[in-house]
Amino acid sequence: MGSKIKKIPKLIVFAFITSILVLNYSCSPTNILAGGGGTAMVVAEGDRSLGTVVDDTTIKVNIAASFIGSDNNLFVDINTSVLESRVLLTGLVEDQETRIEAVRLVWEVEGVKEVVNEIEIGNRETIKDYANDLWINTQARGVAAKTIGLRAVGYNFETINGKLFIAGITSRPNQLEQLINALKSIKGVKEIVNYVIIKK
C-alpha cells in the first residue's frame, strides 16, 4: 500500500508518447500533424523540451498505474495533467476520503514537485450532465485550434459540471488571454479555471 511505483525507463516512455502523439494529433483539427515529425512540432509548439515531455509522461504513467492499483475507481474518476512535474487533478469522487487518497498516491510518485487538487466531491446526476461536459471539452479543443492554430496542442482541457479547466505552458501571455476570451463564448461554460504556466 505504501510502496512507491518504480520509474519507467525514459526510452520506453519516449516510444509510448511518440506513438500516442502521432495517433492523437495526426487527426487533429489542423490536419497538419502526421508522421514521426509530428512529435517534435508538438513539443516545440507547447513550449516544452522533449526531455520535459518525457519526464512528465513518466509521472503521468506512474500515477495511472498507482490509481489502477487502488481500491477506489480513481483511474476512471480522476483526470491528471502533468506539466513540468506539476500535477493538476480534476474529477468527481464520492467522498473526502477518496479525494485525500488520490492526492496521497500522487505524492508517492517519484518526480512530483507540486499537486494542485481540483477534485470535487459529488456525482453527475444525469447522463446529460456528463454529455454536456464532454461537449464542452470538444468545443474547447475546436475553439483553441481556430483561435491559436497549432499551438492549441500545448493545452489540456477538462470540464467538470460546466467548470472548464485549462492547463499548459506558454511563453505568450497575450495569446493565452486571447484563448481564454474565446473559450468564454462556449455555451454551457460556467467558469474557466486557468492553470497555464507562463514561461519567460
Residue in 198, 127, 119, 126 with CA at minimum distance from that of residue 163:
119
3-state SS assignment for residue 164: strand
Tell me how crowded residue 20 is: count the other CB atoms within 10 A of its CB: 12
Decide if 114 contacts 144 (C-beta within 8 A).
no
3-state SS assignment for residue 83: strand
Longest dimension (CA), the chain: 46
Which alpha helices (H) appear in 46-126, and where do they start and end?
Answer: 50-68, 74-77, 96-107
Q: What is the pLDDT along the chain (200 residues), one digit of tens a residue?
A: 444 444 455 555 445 544 544 444 333 333 332 223 333 333 334 566 777 788 999 999 999 999 999 988 899 999 999 998 999 999 999 899 999 999 999 999 999 999 999 999 887 777 788 899 999 999 999 999 999 998 898 899 999 999 999 999 898 999 999 999 999 999 999 999 999 988 87
Q: What is the pLDDT of residue 180?
A: 97
Decide if 87 contacts 116 (C-beta within 8 A).
yes
3-state SS assignment for residue 57: helix
Domain limits of the chain?
1-200
